[in-house]
């Protein structure tokens, strides 16, 4: 279950079994604020119904434990701190700026009639054409030297 410090709003993931049936004193690891944390009704499940006498005995026992816990807070409650990362303003600004630069570059290339895909395709075809000429010339030279 999640518990939240009422002072600094730090969130913790705590095993509900560690809070005992009636809750316990807990301390925030961030600001050292102490409070009594009770279990939510939704988290309490009982598979065996209890009798009236057992309920009274349990209530007396729990009240005694509650008074003892309020005097001495538990500092070693096993928990996991849940930290929510806030979005970075600098990173968001850089991403937006890069997106704007890319969009402007594409728009400028198109407005001046320069299509980058056509130019890239031309240079690739030119490279393979020249490579083919070089290989054919080398084949002719090798053929002439061997014959």
Q: Looking at per-residue confidence, does 85 or 130 come out higher?
A: 130
**Count of alpha carbons within 13 Å of 65, Cβ hemisphere only?**
15
Mean pLDDT (the chain, rounded): 76
Same-domain pairing of 14 and 39: yes
Same-domain pairing of 7 and 68: yes
Q: For 122-147, what is the mean pLDDT?
A: 94
Same-domain pairing of 78 and 91: no
Same-domain pairing of 72 and 135: no
Same-domain pairing of 11 and 62: yes
Same-domain pairing of 74 and 124: no
Give the integer Cα–Cα distance in Å for 53 and 60: 11
Same-domain pairing of 132 and 99: no
Q: Do 72 and 25 touch, CB atoms closer than 8 A? A: yes
Q: Which of 10-19, 40-49, 133-142 has the highest mean pLDDT?
A: 133-142
Three-state DSSP string of 91-138: HHHHHHHHHHHHHHHHHHHHHCCCCHHHHHHHHHHHHHHHHHHHHHHH
User: What is the tally of structural domains in the chain?
Assistant: 3
Same-domain pairing of 125 and 101: no
Other Cβ atoms closer than 10 A to 60:
10
- Measure the N-to-C terminal CA separation of the chain; round to a whole number of Å: 88
Share of the chain above pLDDT 90, in %: 26
Q: Which domain holds residue 132?
A: 115-147
**Among 32, 65, 82, which residue terminates a domain?**
82
Write out pLDDT tens, residues 24-50. 788 888 888 888 887 765 444 443 444
């Amino acid at each position: 279950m999640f518990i939240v410090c009422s002072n600094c709003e730090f969130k913790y993931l705590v095993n509900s079994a560690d809070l005992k049936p009636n809750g316990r004193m807990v301390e925030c690891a961030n600001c050292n604020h102490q409070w009594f944390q009770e279990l939510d009704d939704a988290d309490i499940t009982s598979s065996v119904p209890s009798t009236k006498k057992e309920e009274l005995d349990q209530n007396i026992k729990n009240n005694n434990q509650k008074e003892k816990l309020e005097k001495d807070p538990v500092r070693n409650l096993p928990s996991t701190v849940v930290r929510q990362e806030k979005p970075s303003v600098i990173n968001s600004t850089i991403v937006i700026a890069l997106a704007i630069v890319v969009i402007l570059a594409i728009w400028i290339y198109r407005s001046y009639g320069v299509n980058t895909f056509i130019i890239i395709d031309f240079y690739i075809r030119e490279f393979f054409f020249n490579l083919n000429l070089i290989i054919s010339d080398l084949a002719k030279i090798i053929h002439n030297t061997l014959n």
